[in-house]
Amino acid sequence: MQSRRKFIRGAAFSWSALSIPMLSFAKKAAVTKPIVVSTWDSGLAVNAEAWKVLGKSGKAIDAVEVAANSIENTINCCVGLGGNPDRDGKVTLDACIMDEKANCGSVAFLEKIKNPISVARKVMEKTPHVMLVGEGAQQFALENGFTKESGALSADAEKTYKEWLKKSEYKPVMNIEQQQIKAKKGHGPFAPNYFEDGSFNHDTMGTIALDNSGDLSGACTTSGMGFKMRGRVGDSPIIGAGLFVDNEIGAATSSGQGEEVIRVCGTHLVVEMMRAGKTPKEACKIAVERIIKINPEKARDFQVGFIAINKNGEYGAYSIQPGFSYSVTKADDGGKVYMAESHFAKK
């Protein structure tokens, strides 16, 4: 016969076994999925491309790749081969991609190849490595079916480069995208960053997405800072700097002066802060403040912005200077552009 003590212990065990799933159910926040977030207002058109995949319950990794491709393929766009060249007049591209299993691939200092993000994905899927650079990255791309382009500058980049050569000064321009929006009327698929004269001043596109299955992925693609030293690589192809994804926690990507992002392993920091319980915006703010703390005076002269999403589909952003916009697309709203709060916001 079962003793009374054994019965009570047994009863207590069943109760706790029952209450654990009930408690965790009670705590679960509503999840917004699918959702895609990209840097800048030009991210809205990029998100629309991602949505063609996410809206059909496609995978986040496929969505961020097609999103990045769409802007890389835009002629006279500063992301991809149409971007501004280095100081020697050559366009060099950086990109990285990361999926829900922490698989990642990256290319840097890649020349004459149209879709660096897709080469990065091939590095991820077909090699035992994470990163290929320069000639080796180009050789790998050609071996994997990519075409070698001419390397000619886009009309807009040619014009800007000729202008730059007059002084040959390396001076990254803060929020150059926003300044041009004010100066010219935008139109076209990437409006308002795509201008009447066909120019498009933008270096980097970072896109992070949560798909219908609840998986996160991200992509970051850039022609880098215009008129950089030959061989210079920024944060955009560096996993943990320009992009980081942890499928248990969230994803983050960055835009702005890459050197400063690399110094603090920016997007890894953002994700770790979300792991510690911060909201996406709070986490981005902490990373921005870390950059400023290192060099408070210099930080007045450059821009860095982070965007982040967490596993629940909550999103946020923060930047050093005002003027950093980002685009969010989810099922119920068809996409919206927001202006990130910033450390040096005018009060």
Active site residues per annotation = 204
**Span between the terminal Cα atoms of the chain, in Å:** 76
To the nearest whole angstrom, how small is the minimum distance from the Cβ of residue 53 to ligand SD4? 24
Residue linked to tokens 């320069």: 134
Residue 174: CB minimum distance to ligand SD4, A:
10
Q: How far is CA 32 from CA 64, 102, 170, 211, 214, in A?
A: 17, 22, 42, 9, 9
**Given the complex with ligand SD4, which of 92 and 138 has the nearer CB atom?**
92
Task: List residues near ligand SD4 by CB under 6 A.
Answer: 203-204, 222, 224-225, 234-236, 255-258
Q: How far is the CB of 339 from ligand SD4 (least distance, A)?
A: 16
- In the complex with ligand SD4, the residue whose CB is nearer, 255 or 310, is 255
Q: Which of residues 250 and 256 has its CB atom nearest to ligand SD4 in the complex?
A: 256
Return the number of the residue (118 or 223) whose C-beta is nearest ligand SD4: 223
CB-based contacts of 108, cutoff 8 Å, min separation 6 = 94, 131, 132, 133, 134, 137, 233, 237
Q: How far is the CB of 237 from ligand SD4 (least distance, A)?
A: 9
Phi, psi dihedral angles at 296 (to 5 degrees)? -60, -35
Burial class (CB in 10 A: 0-12, 13-18, 19+), 195: buried
b/e map 54-84, b = 16+ CB within 10 Å: beeebbbbbbbbbbbbbbbebebbbbbbbbb
Give the helix/strand (H/E) hosting 26: helix 4-27
Q: Amino acid letter at 292?
A: I
> What letter would DSSP give residue 323?
T
Quote the CA–CA distance of 164 and 161 in Å, as a whole number: 5
Q: Which is nearer to ligand SD4, 80 or 234 (CB)?
A: 234
User: What is the spatial distance between Cα 214 and Cα 31, in angstroms, rounded to a whole number?
Assistant: 9
Of 215 and 235, nearer to ligand SD4 (C-beta) is: 235
Contact 175, 321 (CB under 8 A): yes
**β-bridge mates for residue 326, sequence order:** 39, 338
Q: How far is the CB of 257 from ligand SD4 (least distance, A)?
A: 6
**Torsion, CA 86, CA 129, CA 258, CA 216, rounded to 10:** 130
Query: Smallest distance, Å, CB 60 to ligand SD4?
Result: 22
Task: Name which of 204 and 267 has its Cβ closer to ligand SD4.
Answer: 204
d(CA 120, CA 106): 4
